[in-house]
A and B are shown apart, each in its own frame.
Chain A
Amino acid sequence: MNVLNFIVLLPIVNAIVIALGAPARKSALLSAWTQFALTIVALAGYKPKTPGGFDFGSKWDVAPEWGLSLAFGADGLSLVMLLLTALVTVAAVWVTPKIEKRENLFYACVLLISGGAAGAFASTDLFFFYAFHELALIPTFLLIGIWGTGARQVAAWKITIYLAVGSVVLLVGLAKLYLAFPEGARSFDMLKMAESRALIPAAEQGSIYIWLLIGFGILISLVPFHSWAAPAYASAPTPAAMLHSGVLKKFGLYGLIRIAVPMLPEGAKVWMNLLLVLLVANIIYIGLVTIAQKKLDWMLAYSSVMHMGYIFLGIAAGNAIGVSGASLLMLGHGLSIAALFAMCGYIRQNNPSLAFTSLGGLAKQAPFLGYAFGMAAFASIGLPGFANFASEMMVLFGAFKSGTVAGSTHFGATQFATVFALWGVVISAVYMLRAYRQIFQGEPNANVASFKDPGCSVRSSVILLLAALLIVGLWPKSLLNFIQPSVEALIGK
């Protein structure tokens, strides 16, 4: 047992303890902070031990006949994802208002989502990497269905069935990948698979890649598999929306970076144009849909779908700078959307409709909220100073460089997609700034006459997320030092 095992085990064990009747909020907060502290310890003590840059390895054989084992290990990339998980978990637990009914079940579900995400990021066995992610499925269903708002039950059904189907597609893709290795070299150990990736026949890579792309794509809300995301996030209770859009959705992207990019480079080439079209649709089409939204929660939900396009662009670029940028952007997007959903949840408590027309002039009554929301919105647009800026720049540079040979000019499909993606920045500026103006500026609406700044817990958790965004934005090297060697080990320089 090492620190990594505790990071995974802690939220799951705590969820069980809380379900059995421990004081819910206190235990959950304690668990989240401990998880955060352990993650910092892991980041500080990280020393690459294997050629792939992994540390904290541990392994228990569960089915030797099939080569299945419960195996954990972390490289720089997984540690950054674990940091994101821990930060958002702390914020999500902290920001939660008083739960009127079945408090213990609520916090148990929240911690299970966090534990499932942490387990997936820390697994080095393909089977458990997949299995941990699904741990969040039922808790999400319960959270949205019981404590959600609006058409919560419809949204809960939709997200659960959609993601379940996506998971099965992914499962078939992973089985195909496993069976593509010649007999004798087959293994569920992701480190071994990465080492012997040259054994995958180039001709089969395309058919495996498309299964993985659709499977992961459904989990990430890639157009046209995005329709589950917005209703679910709009009606989910605040912590569930924060954890799901901020952390859990990154599982699919992490999987693409960890599995599809390094192991199936030929497959990526086959489907490159399709992926580019879809990701541009994510940015431009969903961007326009976001502009058309009339409620804050739906707008944030769609913006979260839209921003997946940039991360896909970095993955499509396939070079070290693009993929590193995508990895950092996962963190940046996770933190900024979590902060936005946290504040959206607070506004919802006072004004359940969240329609832009029923809000206005909040900045006068709640200056802190106005300030913090502005910062989070700027971060989300990708203004300099925030983590999103640094990472989006890397993604765009990487994508523009992709496919070029040194000394020659080349303008191919990736470059076209990059140009389209740049327009996405304008689109996000349009909807974010418009929302900001309608909610916070102008004369206070009569509906919000009694609106006040949030209390300590909401404030602190938003400050925590914004501080992390600023630190990483001003000093991206702090995390890129972890990300870049891992990405280079995965895909080569």
Chain B
Amino acid sequence: MQQIIPAITLEVSVLLLGLFMIFAEAFSKSADRSHLARYAIAVLLALTGFSFFTIQPPSQIPAGSMWNFYSVDATGMFFKRIALVTTAVVLVMALEYRTVLAKFIPGVEEGRGTGEFYSLPVFICAGLMFMASAVDFILIFVALELVTIGFYILVAYMRRHEQSLEAGVKYLILGALSTGFLVYGITWIFGLTGQTHLDKVKDALVAGFAPGGALAGNETALLFGVMLILVALGFKIAAAPFQLWVPDVYQGAPTPVTAFLSVGSKAAGFIVLVRVLIVFLAVPAIQAKVVAVLALLAILTLIYGNLAAMPQDNLKRLFAYSSIAHAGYLLVACAAMGTHASSAKEAISFYLAGYLVMTLLSFLILVTVSRQSRGDDIRHFAGLAKRNPVLAFCMTVAIASLAGIPLTAGFLGKFLVFKVAVASKQWALIGVGIVAVGAGFYYYIRVIASMYWDEPNDRTPVTVGPLTRIVTVALTGLVFVLGIWPAPVLDQLSERPAAAVVHK
């Protein structure tokens, strides 16, 4: 493919789009802002297309250039596309959600005050894209804050809705706390190595902790820094025991924001985790300990997420716990990074791609159904197969994929995770994983049972708007495509044979 666009253009375009939306909202005469969201969806999808024509970084990186903190590798580009597509789908959801939103926002006319609800996700998208390319602790931190601050506002967006406000406060306090952990961890690493660029940190650590190196004997200091960073990232990816905010925030936030949180925020957290783990696992002195901590986190997360999901009746809350559970499977792959770095990375990327598709699909259907059933409990899905069979089928596909039934995207992700766990002989994790899958089947299939077994409380058919219909069907198809024919996605993940990057 021709390489004609510098990758940074993508982020700049997204930022400009966000700024444009804010201005357009300020000066627009009509109260209805939905056209803004439609423009944004079109632009984001166009940018996804453009992302296939980006320029590779130069093989010699001059000092002081942008490439010292920003890199464009295949994984980074992959996550940029994930961010763009996710944001577009979230905006589709936001459009579907606008009547609910308007109810909880004071305004002289209906629709007034919803403009930011469409522009903030675009800014968050820019933050996610920067994070995908960040190879320097400073850029990682700044990008993460851009994302998190955007979410602070979005979570509490429904100002007349008590739960939304409560969620906002919880997310703000715990988010700020985790930011503190992250910065503190970074300073410890910086104190040891004097570097913030990940590759340079890695070189300094490997050289420093080699026998007779300058840092020998300072393992505790390094471990302390690493643990602080893991705690901070644990908040972002919702790993137990840092998951306490998740259920309340997911339930209270506006549903499109919940979907965005569970996909965008998680994907961003994992790409950062993968990037820093490559650095820390390269240091033989602490490798075994970091792997042990990751394994422990994975076990806790799998058990907590899956068991706590079982008694939930509210679907948003159930998805919150299931999102914790999925973080557990991803952490299993992270724990395998110690011995099988490249296949574990591939498993994580693929799992996230599948997770994105199935989660967005299920939330999109949740928004549609809950708006018309006036509630987002499982019982509001009762008899959906009679009210709208196609929608029920699409939800079944999403649920089957989340549970990990073969020929869907979710299964292939789980397969890769289990495969890499077997390869690295993490038997305890595999044992817990098997139990977790069994528990997962129970709570996921409850939704299917409700849709097909139960009689509807309300027999009116569920109607779906044209844009939502297209996106729902497309995502359903994508679940199967990823599960049966993953080759196109894998091609994107394999690093192009670019010249080795040399730092000056």
Contact = CB atoms under 8 A, between A and B. Distances in A.
To the question of whether A and B form a pair in one complex, the answer is yes
Interface string A199-242: 00000000000000000000000000000000000000000000
B419 A168 contact: no
Contact of A161 (B418, B442, B448, B453): B442
A164 B300 CA distance: 22
B448 A179 contact: no
Contacts of B435: 165
Given A161-B441, A165-B434, A135 B407 contact: yes
B448 A157 contact: no
A384 to B, nearest CB: 42
Nearest to A180: B422
B407 A138 contact: no
Nearest to A137: B405
B55 interface: no
B406 interface: yes
B437 A142 contact: no
Interface string B422-447: 11000000100111011001100100
B244 interface: no
Interface string A33-69: 0000000000000000000000000000111111010
A168 B445 contact: no
Interface stretch (A169-177, A304-312, A319-327, A454-462): A169-177
B411 A160 contact: no
B494 interface: yes
A138 B438 contact: no
B486 interface: yes
Contact of B490 (A63, A141, A171): A63
A190 interface: no
B472 to A, nearest CB: 16
> Could you say which interface size class chain A belongs to?
35 or more
Interface in B450-472: 452-453
A130 interface: yes
Given A141-B445, A175-B418, A168 B487 contact: no
B434 A169 contact: yes
A62 B406 CA distance: 14
A135 B400 contact: no
B448 A141 contact: yes
Contacts of B494: 65
A134 B423 contact: no
A485 interface: no
Contact of B484 (A70, A157, A169): A70
B481 to A, nearest CB: 10
A175 B426 CA distance: 13
B453 A145 contact: yes
Contact of A62 (B405, B411, B453, B484): B484
Contacts of B434: 165, 168-169, 172
Interface of B: 385, 393, 396, 400, 403, 405-407, 411, 415, 418-419, 422-423, 430, 433-435, 437-438, 441-442, 445, 448-449, 452-453, 484-487, 490, 494
Interface of A: 19, 61-66, 68, 70, 102, 105, 127, 130-132, 134-135, 137-138, 141-142, 145-146, 153, 156-157, 160-161, 164-165, 168-169, 171-172, 175-176, 178-179
26 contacts: A63-B485, A63-B487, A66-B490, A105-B452, A134-B406, A141-B448, A142-B448, A145-B449, A146-B453, A161-B438, A164-B403, A164-B437, A164-B441, A165-B434, A165-B438, A169-B434, A171-B415, A171-B418, A172-B430, A175-B415, A175-B418, A175-B419, A175-B423, A176-B422, A178-B419, A179-B423
Given A19-B393, A63-B487, A145-B453, 17 more contacts: A63-B486, A66-B490, A68-B486, A131-B407, A134-B405, A134-B411, A138-B396, A145-B452, A146-B452, A146-B453, A153-B453, A157-B445, A160-B441, A161-B438, A161-B442, A168-B434, A171-B415
Question: Nearest 10 A-B pairs (CB), nearest first?
Answer: A131-B406, A165-B438, A134-B406, A164-B441, A175-B422, A175-B419, A168-B437, A62-B485, A168-B434, A63-B486
